[in-house]
Structure 1
Amino acid sequence: MTDAAIKPFKPLVFSGVQPTGNLHLGNYLGAIVNFVALQKSHDCIYCVVDMHAITATLVQPDLPAQIREVTAAFIAAGIDPVKQIVFNQSRVSAHAELAWVFNCVARLGWLNRMTQFKDKAGKDRENASTGLYAYPNLMAADILVYKATHVPVGEDQKQHLELTRDIAQKFNNDFGPRIAELGLGRGEAGGFFPAPEPLIQPQAARIMSLRDGTKKMSKSDPSEYSRLNLTDDADTIAQKLRKAKTDADAIPSEAKGLEGRPEAENLVGIFAGLAGKPVTAVLQDFGGSQFSAFKQALTDLAVERLAPVGGEMKRLVADPGYIDGVLRAGAERAAAIAAPIMDEVKDIVGFIR
């Protein structure tokens, strides 16, 4: 293939959410809101990554319900499953097929540097599943099986995206002559896979516990008052925010006034995320106010933004047939993109098909 014939990769966004149950404000502001915004400017594939969900806990009797809940959250928040692709990962076998190829491309030294495995496996690493260890290779396959060019990521996923780029580059380098021989190169270097770029969300990417501003908001926290669940009703939202931990000082007028005040910084950040404003604008509006007044304004805003999403989620979850239809149709569309790419991978590697 000549340089003149090489075509660029088509811009495409891919992202996934694990079906872990009890979706909360952190999931909403840290990921889903960004997904909704991206569909206005990009073609998007949004995946419920159920294969990733079993890497840490294999037996999950409620996994089907959790898959449907994440799908319901996507739709309730505003993702259009007709214009974009929404599906669950296990329905498209190309994810697992490409992950195995990438298991053979990635190096042990690369995976040994992955901090998320160290965090999730803890001290009992010898008892962790190989799936948890090889999780980043499957994540790379999720992205590259569609030749996605952009991936919205939080701080905790940036390292995995770097690994995805390394895997893409190594595959392109190792099979370079074969890719050229088959005429399958794209992009400036004529590689088969793109090097996907991160889309870093500008604000509210990290939401902390309402009870401890130094800890990330999490469904695993034993206190229900540590988080706002997307299915919480207006009264529950109000009660949780009234009890949210603060300090005795007033709201500062400048961002430097939040230094050393994790709970204050968290609540201001939540307001900014829900309002779609920078933190500086929130501080200008509320600087000098006491937290009693600020919490009331935050409650009003949270109820306005979250209650409709929670209500629609409950309605959708009550209709599993509809959700399963969305996932089925999305998987068919996803497979139509992934299957020919996987066939080309097999040709490049040398498999007979």
Structure 2
Amino acid sequence: MTEQSFKHRVFSGIQPSGNLTLGNYLGAVKRFVEMQDSGIETIYCVVDLHAITVWQDPEKLRHATRELAAAYIACGLDPTRSILFNQSQVSAHAELGWLFNCVARLGWMNRMTQFKDKAGKNAEKASLGLYAYPSLMAADILTYQATHVPVGEDQKQHVELARDIAGKFNHDYGTEYFPLPEPIIEGAATRVMSLRDGTKKMSKSDPSDLSRINLTDDADTIAKKIKKAKTDPEPLPDSVDGLDGRPEAKNLVSIYAALSGKSKADVIAEFAGQQFGAFKPALADLAVAELSPITARMSDLMADPAEIDRILGDGADRAAALAEPVLAGAKDVMGFVRSR
């Protein structure tokens, strides 16, 4: 098997850790939806096994898993054209994750910046899962022999680790069994920043709810948050270069561009010289128009959790049909006896 023979396949996963934000939508989910029309097979996963690297309340985890699935669908992801499932229903992820634990090197894991960020000064009290989960993330990707992974810039290191693990596996066993996946980083507002601090990424874990727009926010809440978004006293410039050194202004223009499908240059041309008192209402109207249908659809879906579970179960069956033969092949390569 040569690397060129791998089918083009996109895999991506998001943790069920609370409300999806505008940043998740513009930076990831909107592109996921667009990729359905690219001719590439698309697999999207609610990574609930990653979520338990820190303790989760069981009922909240169930709710968050269903809510994330509802958000995917409400944003336009079609579970008949893409595969949508939650990770814990496909055991090949965890099994291949263990095999990769035995391929990955300790030095590689020690270089992973996200463990340092999340564990902080209490690293000794962090779970082993939090330390090792990049190996499971590699398994998420490679159990589908995925060739492309849409990620934010902060997740690029994990795809690089998946490439390292795939390369070492192939080298150690004299094969080209796994592809070397490529990160996909693109989009007008790939990195949406906080509404309270334009130098920080919009995050669902930020203590201030005013820092983000949640996909569950109603129209009034969206408008209020944009009205209160931090800005500077200067009017909008007459060129994109004029946004340099103005992180909050740059962020709001980027959001407008991504929601409208326009370039930042076109947005600047439309609003050049205007104060934020004029720009913010226009942005609020646009955000409400784009997001309100998503919020309403999510609400309808969450009213029928059995249907969400059916969709996730169907997706898990389809995902397992792809994953289990890949896991079996990896076991054969490594020399395991498989007699059942």
Cα distance, 1:203 vs. partner? 2.0
Cα distance, 1:277 vs. partner? 2.2
Note if 1:196 corresponds to 2:194: no
Which amino acid is 2:152 matched to?
G
- In structure 2, the partner of 1:347 is 332
Where does 1:121-140 land on structure 2 (aligned, <5 Å)?
A: 121-140=119-138
Distance 1:285 1:114 in 2: 43
Note if 1:13 corresponds to 2:13: no
Distance 1:272 1:60 in 2: 39
C-alpha contact 2:19 2:68 (8 A) present in aligned 1: no
Distance 2:313 2:205 in 1: 30
- In structure 2, the partner of 1:246 is 231
Deviations 1:76-127 (A, max 9, x none): 0001101110000000000000000000000000111111111111111111
- In structure 1, the partner of 2:241 is 256
CA shift in 2, pair 1:57/1:230, >3 Å: same
SS at 1:75 equivalent: helix
Cα distance, 1:349 vs. partner? 0.8
Cα distance, 1:243 vs. partner? 1.1
SS at 2:45 equivalent: strand
Cα distance, 1:61 vs. partner? 3.4
Cα distance, 1:223 vs. partner? 2.1
Q: Percent identity?
A: 63
For the aligned residue pairs, the C-alpha RMSD in angstroms reads: 1.3
- In structure 1, the partner of 2:168 is 170
Cα distance, 1:150 vs. partner? 0.6
- In structure 1, the partner of 2:28 is 31
Where does 1:213-232 land on structure 2 (aligned, <5 Å)?
A: 213-232=198-217
- Following TM superposition, where does structure 1 have runs of at least 4 consecutive aligned residues deviating by more than 6 angstroms? none
**Aligned pair count?**
337
Cα distance, 1:215 vs. partner? 1.9
SS at 1:27 equivalent: helix
Where does 1:1-353 land on structure 2 (aligned, <5 Å)?
A: 8-41=5-38, 42-176=40-174, 179=175, 191-353=176-338
Deviations 1:284-312 (A, max 9, x none): 22111111111111011101100000110
Cα distance, 1:59 vs. partner? 4.3
Distance 2:162 2:54 in 1: 21
Distance 1:278 1:106 in 2: 42
Cα distance, 1:239 vs. partner? 1.2
Cα distance, 1:219 vs. partner? 2.1
C-alpha contact 2:27 2:187 (8 A) present in aligned 1: no
Q: Runs of 5+ in structure 2 lacking a partner?
A: none
Which amino acid is 1:225 matched to?
L
Distance 2:306 2:195 in 1: 36
Cα distance, 1:339 vs. partner? 0.6
SS at 1:99 equivalent: helix
153-162 or 211-220: bigger deviation:
211-220
Distance 2:278 2:231 in 1: 12
SS at 1:86 equivalent: strand
Cα distance, 1:314 vs. partner? 0.8
Cα distance, 1:263 vs. partner? 1.0
Distance 1:36 1:253 in 2: 33
Distance 2:322 2:307 in 1: 23
Distance 1:272 1:168 in 2: 37
Distance 2:207 2:329 in 1: 48
Distance 1:64 1:118 in 2: 28
Deviations 1:4-23 (A, max 9, x none): xx861000000001001121
Deviations 1:249-298 (A, max 9, x none): 00112122112211111111111111122222211221111111111110
CA shift in 2, pair 1:279/1:120, >3 Å: same
SS at 2:178 equivalent: coil
State the TM-score, normalized to the length of structure 1. 0.93
SS at 1:341 equivalent: helix
- In structure 2, the partner of 1:187 is none
Deviations 1:140-182 (A, max 9, x none): 0000001011110110111110110010010001011xx4xxx
